[in-house]
Structure 1
Amino acid sequence: MNIFIHGWSFDKTIWKDFYNLENSLFFNLPFHGDFKDFEDKNIIENYIEYIKEKIKKSSTLIGWSLGATISVLFYLKYPEKVKKLILIGFSPKFKDEKLGHNPKNVRAFMISLKKDFKNTVFNFRKSSTNCYFKSIPLPEEKGSYNLLNEYINLDITSEIEKIDVPTTLIHGKKDKIINPLASIFSNQKIKNSKLIQINSHHAPFLEDKQIILNEIYPDLSI
């Protein structure tokens, strides 16, 4: 089974080019897409439990940005349910200039979300992907803000050394959201990992889906 988890402010339709894959599930983050009814405290912890109930056998987790971090946290809690990790634009510590994003800019972004949620989200999408993606509905404001706040305060730099399944790190060299050094650092810490750097933005799979297909089906020519 392939499990796809998208990044903050988008929804599962960001993976639409992969919808034709067999044995694949596409999850919305809490407060994103049509998944708006969720407890807005301990969101990531509760979401991991939600995912656990949906995954019936050992699976490949494909996570992007916040979705990548959730994939790692899920593995750390339920390693028996994960056979491979594909982490796109991953950061083990987002509020860090080298491993994520400049903390001053992060604080300014959170303030901007409070003042003008709609335009701040669209501008974030533009910075991430070079597109506003206005066709994707806005996430629910309060819940998605709290979810993002939980994410930016995580630090799993020491935890990623515990990962013991094949792991592929994919990162855009022009990523404006998460410093590409984050994946280089993670590649050094995760013993069974490889790093793929793409001349792209924060979402390289939008430009070339083959980079993910090659990792899901390494023995096949897609």
Structure 2
Amino acid sequence: MGQYVQVEDNVKIFVEDIGQGVPVIFLHGWPANHLMFEYQYTLLASHGYRCIGMDIRGFGKSDAPWESYSYDRMADDVRAVIDELHLENAALVGFSMGGAIASRYMSRHIGHGITRLLLAGAATPVFTRRPGIEYGMEPDEVTSQLIHATYENRPAMLNKLGLKFTKTKSNPGMLVWLGLLCYQASHHGTIKAAASLRDEDLRQDLAAIQIPTTVFHGQKDKIVEPELGELTAQSIAGSRIVRFEDSGHAMLFDEPEKFNEELLTFLDGMKMEYDPLNSVESQRSL
């Protein structure tokens, strides 16, 4: 079921609410929308989970204000959705820029409503290089290859990005579908969110995370280097890292079976805590 949640600055955020049970909130990457997780929604709903997919402002069906694309603002949007839907004891899953927003949410809102965190190919601790971190894109690369390229020719920029998105090119239909999701984003939202990717720093946010956290990262990632995944895991006390040896940035498309199995493993322990009467094995037999 789709609905809109109006947030503090009168922006309407689109939310898809599928299934019943333990809530799992999904934050998509730049510049896609919540539908990038549609295979996970179908899987998890059949295993007794409630999937909450939200379109980040500027993307998908959400409003696209001219300003306000900072991680703080987008983390506040997540809080508004959690409060409007009365979500408690939820898992938060963030992919790429969605992982960065999830990390800011955990710090800024002290993990309100969240008991487990999954960061998949997250743009953390930073997306661009800076003193103290020698991995990631150079800031001027983001400006030229993502921001200026979007000003000049957004389809061409998306096509070039798509070549780096997954390791395998054996499924061209999937890349076309992902491209169509990205075309639904607003032009200015795509640009201004890319500036946040370039400029934001999440090192202090990661250090503040105090709930069970799992990091997924493709070992052939050409967008967020594997070393950044390692740094992310090292920065979060007690976190666990799952390495996808045959994946690029989008491990959920390069190694879908492993991604889904590891996602269920991440969530199953949480389900037992949420409802001890649930049998993990019986849910998996559905």
Q: State the TM-score, normalized to the length of structure 1.
A: 0.91
The structure that has the greater radius of gyration is 2
Once residues 214 and 105 of structure 1 are traced to their aligned partners in structure 2, the CA distance between those partners, rounded to angstroms, is 37
What's 1:48 paired with? 75
Query: Which of 59, 70, 74 does residue 101 from structure 2 map onto?
Result: 70
Compare the two structures and name the one with the higher helix fraction.
Answer: 2
Higher relative contact order (CA 8 A, sep 6+): 1
Cα RMSD over matched residues? 1.9
Is the 1:161–1:191 Cα contact (8 Å) retained in structure 2?
A: yes
Is the 1:205–1:211 Cα contact (8 Å) retained in structure 2?
A: no
Is the 2:64–2:186 Cα contact (8 Å) retained in structure 1?
A: no
SS in 2 for 1:101: coil
Gapped runs of 5+ residues in structure 1? none
Matches within 5 A, 1:134-173: 134-138=179-183, 139-173=185-219
What's 2:125 paired with? 92
CA offsets, 1:144-182, max 9 Å, x none? 210110122011223311111111010000101001101
Per the alignment, do residues 174 and 185 of structure 1 end up closer, same or farther by CA in structure 2, a change over 3 Å counting? Answer: same
Matches within 5 A, 1:88-127: 88-90=120-122, 91-96=124-129, 98-109=134-145, 110-127=147-164
Instruction: Report which stretch shifted further, 206-215 or 59-68.
Output: 206-215
Once residues 216 and 205 of structure 1 are traced to their aligned partners in structure 2, the CA distance between those partners, rounded to angstroms, is 16
Compute the displacement of 1:80 (Å): 2.9
- In percent, how many aligned pairs have the same letter? 19
What's 1:213 paired with? 264
| Deviating 4+ runs (over 3 angstroms) | 36-39, 218-222
Which letter does structure 1 place at the counterpart of 2:179?
K
Per the alignment, do residues 80 and 183 of structure 1 end up closer, same or farther by CA in structure 2, a change over 3 Å counting? Answer: same
Instruction: Report which stretch shifted further, 44-53 or 70-79.
Output: 44-53
Matched, 1:190 2:227: no
Once residues 30 and 162 of structure 2 are traced to their aligned partners in structure 1, the CA distance between those partners, rounded to angstroms, is 9
Once residues 46 and 39 of structure 1 are traced to their aligned partners in structure 2, the CA distance between those partners, rounded to angstroms, is 13
Compute the displacement of 1:17 (Å): 0.6
Gapped runs of 5+ residues in structure 2? 1-22, 170-174, 273-279
Per the alignment, do residues 98 and 196 of structure 1 end up closer, same or farther by CA in structure 2, a change over 3 Å counting? Answer: farther
Which letter does structure 2 place at the counterpart of 1:68?
G
CA offsets, 1:41-70, max 9 Å, x none? 244322222221221223110000000010
What's 2:28 paired with? 6
Once residues 48 and 144 of structure 1 are traced to their aligned partners in structure 2, the CA distance between those partners, rounded to angstroms, is 17
Count of residue pairs the alignment pairs up = 222
Query: Which of 24, 32, 40 does residue 59 from structure 2 map onto?
Result: 32
Q: State the TM-score, normalized to the length of structure 2.
A: 0.72
Per the alignment, do residues 42 and 134 of structure 1 end up closer, same or farther by CA in structure 2, a change over 3 Å counting? Answer: closer
Compute the displacement of 1:39 (Å): 5.0
